[in-house]
Structure 1
Amino acid sequence: MYKLLAKLNKLLLPSFTKQGLDISKAKKWQMAIIGYRAYVTKKALGN
């Protein structure tokens, strides 16, 4: 299930690292997306 979510995230959600976003200047909604993507990626990898 998490592997499917990870693939959907890659397609649908923006990649802030490719945009050169500075984490210290990120807005709350951007931090929420970053945290969500990290959580799903961790679960998809099986850790």
Structure 2
Amino acid sequence: MFKLLAKLNKLLLPNFTKQGLDIAKAKKWQMAIIGWKYYVTKNALD
């Protein structure tokens, strides 16, 4: 299930790394997306 979510995240959610986002200056909604992508990726690798 998490592997499918990881693929959907990659397709649908923005990639802040390529945009050059500074984590210290990220807005709350951006931090929520980063946290969600981290959670899904961590569980997809297990």
For the aligned pair, the TM-score class normalised by the smaller chain equals: over 0.9
| 1:13-41 alpha-carbon deviations (Å, 9 max, x no partner) | 00000000000000000000000000000
After TM superposition, where is structure 1 displaced by more than 2 Å over at least 4 residues in a row?
none
Q: TM-score under structure 1 normalisation?
A: 0.97
Equivalent residues, number: 46
Aligned residue runs from structure 1 range 1-47, under 5 A: 1-46=1-46
| Structure 1: runs of 5+ lacking an equivalent | none
SS for the counterpart of 1:21 is coil
Higher helix share: 2
Q: How big is the alpha-carbon RMSD for the aligned residues of Structure 1 and Structure 2? A: 0.2
| Structure 2: runs of 5+ lacking an equivalent | none
Q: TM-score under structure 2 normalisation?
A: 0.99
